[in-house]
Each structure stands twice: as structure tokens, then as C-alpha cells.
Amino acid sequence: MSLDGVYDEGNVFALILAGKIPSVTLYEDADTLCFLDIQPQSKGHALVISKWSKARNILEIEDDALAQVMATTRKVATAIRAALDPDGLHIAQFNGAAAGQTVFHLHVHIVPRWAGQAPGFAAHAQGQFADADALKALAQEIRAHL
Ligand code: AMP
């Protein structure tokens, strides 16, 4: 998928928003949703999406939707810091397959980082799938700081 294209209503994040597949929610408001990544790059890896924008990438997103997504990103990043005490927070957003994007509904990654661990983003297929119960317990820990 290139930078140009049509929004696919069947993409995995659209299905999460429609309640058709499960996710572990950290935070939601009227405009945004934040949930834990199922193939986390580190403990607490979360994704923030707009609930209403059909933007595939940052070139398409409406200014207000982008502002809402970034406000939620900071809010949840603050809670992740309080809950997990990382040394750093990697905020990432990919546009187009050539840049590593695999889901074409704009999303922002929040990846807690600890000193001594490799900070690079792994190819997604290499990531381990997280245990569902462990994600739920972790979400409870982070949500306590929101
Ligand atoms: P990107 O490469 O920026 O498009 O990242 C897509 C991210 O979505 C990857 O980190 C995936 O692990 C994550 N992902 C894919 N499907 C799901 C899902 N059902 N629930 C949570 N995260 C997902």
C-alpha cells in the first residue's frame, strides 16, 4: 500500500472500532481510542487512533483529528510513565508500506523504552504475540494512572 489509496473499511483497526474484534483498551473518549498492541515491541506498547477519521496516514488526517490523537497520546504516555517507570518513550507513526506501515488507519505508537534495550523498531512479523490475560492485567495497571 502506497501513500495514495482508498480507506479500507475492513482494516483491523476499523474492525476494533466496530467491536468486531477484541482489543485491550487503555483509554477512550468521544474522538479517540487507545489500546495495547498485540505484538508489543516492549511492555506497555500502545496504539492511539481516531474514532472518526478515515485517514490512512498523516498526509490525509484532518487537523482536529490529529490534535485529538496527539492529545490522547500524551495523556496515555504520561500514565504509562507513571505505571511502568520507563527511561524513555518512543512515539512513532508510519506512513506507507515502504515506511513500515501495515495497518492503513492512522495510528500513533507509544513504546516505553528502558536503558540498555535496543531502541529500534522490529519488523512486525518478528514480534511475539502477547498473552491476552497478561495484556489485560497490564492495562489495569496503566489505567490506574489515568
Ligand atoms: P504499523 O506497522 O505502524 O502499521 O503498526 C501496526 C501495529 O498494529 C503493529 O504494531 C501490530 O502489532 C498492531 N496490531 C495489528 N493487529 C492488531 C490487533 N488486532 N490488536 C492490537 N494491535 C494490533
Give me the domains of the chain, ranges plus CATH numbers: 12-117+127-143 (3.30.428.10)
Buried/exposed 106-139: b ≥16 CB within 10 Å, e otherwise: bbbbbbbbeeeeeeeeeeeeeeeebeeeebeebb
Mean pLDDT for the stretch of residues 26-46: 97
Decide whether any atom of ligand 1 lies within 6 Å of the 93 Cβ. no
Whole-number percent of the chain with pLDDT over 70:
96
pLDDT digits (tens, 9 = 90+) for 52-109: 999 999 999 999 999 999 999 999 999 999 999 999 999 999 999 999 999 999 999 9
Per-residue pLDDT band at 118 (split at 50, 70, 90): confident
Q: Which three cell numbers stand for residue 96?
A: 506507507
Q: Quote the CA–CA distance of 40 and 135 in Å, as a whole number.
A: 10
Atom of ligand 1 nearest to the CA of 21: 19
Whole-model pTM: value is 0.95
Amino acid type, 97: A
pLDDT of 125 strictly over 90 = no
CB atoms inside a 10 Å sphere around CB 69: 25
Mutation test residue for ligand 1: of 103, 110, 129, the one with most atoms within 8 Å of CB: 103
